[in-house]
């Protein structure tokens, strides 16, 4: 396939005021006025919400469909969340709990390379978003209900702090890494196969070969770069391409720290 349309790193949303005091789960609160307590748990609500998002995307997630999967009424979902936006934010954070678990031990001993640790966390987050393209849109969107997202953000930030950069460069470094990871992962996950590949008319290798043949037919004086990298493009792997870009970004971070 053509290389992913890599979006420029997006700025990380600043946590909202009061984010340090993360909102308690609604399951620990008393019932809202006029509503009966749901028979299921917040965990089951979010598990089924994630399943709907995985199967049908954001368009397929609504309170009626979710309540049907849970075996209750729509009101039972409102016990835990007040809106679809909150449901999406909490569902994203539910998935990020696993990402956070996988990187819990990274950088905790103090004797590892901080840039390598940033890379490990970044690749783990990347893999999660490629698997679930909807996830990137809700990362750090509302930290009042996303304790795992803010802890993951903090986890990357702590590794950058070990480099001894000033506050501004530390903030820019973390923002650049997260923006690159989310942008490329979401783009890759949302790509649809070309019509020729989807129909079975040709496989991926044949499609890339055909694209390369078209490049080679171009005037080499006007398109020297395309002629130069045609063979690489024909066999490229999207995940390797991401890791190469991440390594370039982290090499710049390492140079900054060395100064």
With cut-offs at 50, 70 and 90, classify the pLDDT of residue 128: very high
Question: Count of domains in the chain?
Answer: 1
67 occurs within a structural domain:
no
pLDDT of residue 194: 66
CATH of the domain at 153: 1.10.357.10
- Whether the per-residue pLDDT at 10 is higher than 60: the answer is no
> Measured between alpha carbons, how far is 254 from 259 in angstroms, rounded to an integer?
9
77 occurs within a structural domain:
no
**CA quadruple 165, 167, 168, 172: dihedral positive or negative?**
positive
Indicate the average pLDDT of the chain.
84
123 occurs within a structural domain:
yes
- Whether the per-residue pLDDT at 52 is higher than 50: the answer is yes
Which tokens sit at 128?
């999660």
- Whether the per-residue pLDDT at 117 is higher than 70: the answer is yes
pLDDT of residue 207: 83
Which tokens sit at 71?
């075996």
Q: What angle, 0 to 180 degrees and rounded to 10, lies between the N-to-C axes of helices 84-102 and 147-161?
A: 40
4 occurs within a structural domain:
no
- Whether the per-residue pLDDT at 3 is higher than 50: the answer is no
pLDDT of residue 203: 79
2 occurs within a structural domain:
no
Report the percentage of the chain scoring pLDDT > 90: 60
- Whether the per-residue pLDDT at 33 is higher than 90: the answer is no
**Residue whose entry in the numeric block shows the structure tokens 């299921």:** 40
**Containing domain of residue 186, as a range?**
108-259
Tell me which of 137 and 201 has the higher pLDDT: 137
> Measured between alpha carbons, how far is 45 from 81 in angstroms, rounded to an integer?
10
96 occurs within a structural domain:
no
- Whether the per-residue pLDDT at 24 is higher than 50: the answer is no
61-116 pLDDT, tens digit per residue, is: 999 999 999 988 888 899 899 999 999 999 999 999 999 999 999 989 888 999 99
With a CB cutoff of 8 Å and minimum separation 6, the contacts of 114 are 107, 159, 160, 162, 163
With cut-offs at 50, 70 and 90, classify the pLDDT of residue 190: low
> Measured between alpha carbons, how far is 36 from 46 in angstroms, rounded to an integer?
19
Dihedrals phi, psi of 185, to nearest 5 degrees: -65, -45
Report the percentage of the chain scoring pLDDT > 70: 82
């Amino acid at each position: 396939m053509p290389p992913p349309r890599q979006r420029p790193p997006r700025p990380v949303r600043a946590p909202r005021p009061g984010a340090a005091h993360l909102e308690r789960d609604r399951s620990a609160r008393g019932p809202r006025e006029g509503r009966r307590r749901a028979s299921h748990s917040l965990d089951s609500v979010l598990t089924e919400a994630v399943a709907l998002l995985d199967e049908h995307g954001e368009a397929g997630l609504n309170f009626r469909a979710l309540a049907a999967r849970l075996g209750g009424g729509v009101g039972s979902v409102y016990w835990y969340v007040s809106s679809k936006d909150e449901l999406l934010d909490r569902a994203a954070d539910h998935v990020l709990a696993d990402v956070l678990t996988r990187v819990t031990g990274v950088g905790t001993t103090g004797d590892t390379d901080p840039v390598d640790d940033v890379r490990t966390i970044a690749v783990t987050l990347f893999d999660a978003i490629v698997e679930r393209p909807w996830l990137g849109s809700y990362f750090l969107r509302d930290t009042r209900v996303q304790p795992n997202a803010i802890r993951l953000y903090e986890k990357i930030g702590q590794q950058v702090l070990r480099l001894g950069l000033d506050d501004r460069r530390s903030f820019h470094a973390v923002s650049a890494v997260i923006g690159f990871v989310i942008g490329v992962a979401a783009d890759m996950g949302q790509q649809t196969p070309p019509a020729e590949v989807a129909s079975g008319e040709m496989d991926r290798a044949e499609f890339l070969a055909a694209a390369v043949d078209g490049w080679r037919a171009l005037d080499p004086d006007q398109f020297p770069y395309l002629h130069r990298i045609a063979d690489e493009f024909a066999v490229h792997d999207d995940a390797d391409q991401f890791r190469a870009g991440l390594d370039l970004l982290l090499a710049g971070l390492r140079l900054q720290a060395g100064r």
